[in-house]
Amino acid sequence: MSNVVIIGTQWGDEGKGKIVDLLTEHADVIVRFQGGPNAGHTVVVGATKTILHQVPSGILHQGKQCIIGNGVVLDAETLIREIIEVKQQGYFTDDSALLISENAHLIMPYHKRIDVAREKMKGEGKIGTTGRGIGPAYEDKVGRNGIRFSDIFNDETFRLKVEQNLKEKNFYLKNYLGEEEFAAEEIIASYAAIRDSLRKYVGNAALVLHGALAAGKKVLFEGAQGSMLDIDHGTYPFVTSSNTAAANAAIGSGVGPRHLDVIVGIVKAYTTRVGEGPFPTEQNNELGESLRAKGDEYGATTGRPRRCGWLDLAVVQHAIRMNSISHLLITKLDVLSGLETIKICTGYRCEGKLVPGFPSDLAKLAACTPEYDELEGWKDDLTGVTSYEQLPDAAKRYLSYIEQKTATPVGMVSVGYRRDQIITLIDPFSVKN
């Protein structure tokens, strides 16, 4: 029996939501440990599509404990709307199924206004944020000016923090960004109006999680975004504002790293990216447009079209190293059907020399050209395939090639968006350590 961490190996959008939903059936506790409402996990059950931004994907199952950890930044207003929408779909019938860490930090209204105004001011040099205030919220957390979830239930503490923060935020908004200021009373009143609907979810999430581990419960740790958006190890500064790496599953939930048994890296069979930043294998051509259309590559949170390109194993190998990934799970293999040949990037060449690893210097990365291997494609429709044996030989060779180059076994393969369109080769919860 193992605890499992789900990590994206690329720039996010690898299909983690569906995988978490699938693996939740075998887990007792599901923990979201970082990020904010800038991440969207899409889960399709039957004919119903559900997009979750802050609530763990496990909420779509009965009898599971879902936890939002201390490493998450919360937008209280949108969280309430998300809870209402999930309940209206017939899920989340027991309020005790959701527990939110009292130490999770809040995204305040001024964070969102600052986020949007900064991007506007940067013009062509913008990062490409979602404008949801995630970066400014994490800045306040690290700067020790953040407002935590538990603070909204203490009138004196909340008022003091809001008033202190607005002295700085209003000056910055007005005098540097040229934006409207906030009135402390309006913010305080807005949270007073909604906090009672959230009170039943607040608690010591780390203590509850430790109790579950002590009782032998199986825990699934759910990450947001992808490894290449990690604040320390991604394509900085075109990254998110938190650590997306597996190690943060411990820090962002309140447990020690020895409880992280199996690290599953989700790999989309090609590569996509939303927003600005480097993308060595991007295809700004008919192929890229075809992948976008066939794979429905539009952001779950923003609706922005995703940039598309060939699978980049230099990126995947970088993610394997930084996360200690033990198994790979390949998603959207079906999207590659119909291609005569398929390219896979194996590394980069710069000034005639192969570059070891993934360059952290973006100027150097921009000067590199991808090195490709070319594999035979397949024409078969994979969406009805239910076993590895039924896959066409070319698709099997594609998977074997990934295993060989990364020295990491493929444990699952997804061939469609539904729960039942997945081939399981290795059950991550059954892996012995």
| Positions marked active-site | 13, 41
Nearest to 128, CA basis, from 282, 283, 304, 298: 304
CA distance 382 to 359: 35
Say what the alpha-carbon torsion angle 136, 138, 144, 149 is, to the nearest 10 degrees: 100
Per DSSP, helices labelled H in 241-380 are: 248-251, 286-295, 313-323, 362-366
* Cβ neighbours for 52, distance < 8 A, ≥ 6 positions apart: 17, 40, 41, 43, 59, 82, 86
Residue with tokens 């790999």: 267
- Token pair belonging to 89: 């779909």
The number of beta carbons lying within 10 Å of the beta carbon of residue 246 is 25
CA distance 391 to 376: 14
Element (H, E) at 76: helix 76-88
Beta strands in 59-170 (DSSP E): 65-68, 73-74, 98-101, 105-106
> What values do phi and psi take at 267, rounded to 5?
-120, 115
3-state secondary structure of 387: coil
DSSP output for 165-207: HHHHHHHHHHHTS------HHHHHHHHHHHHHHHGGGEE-HHH
CA distance 326 to 428: 9
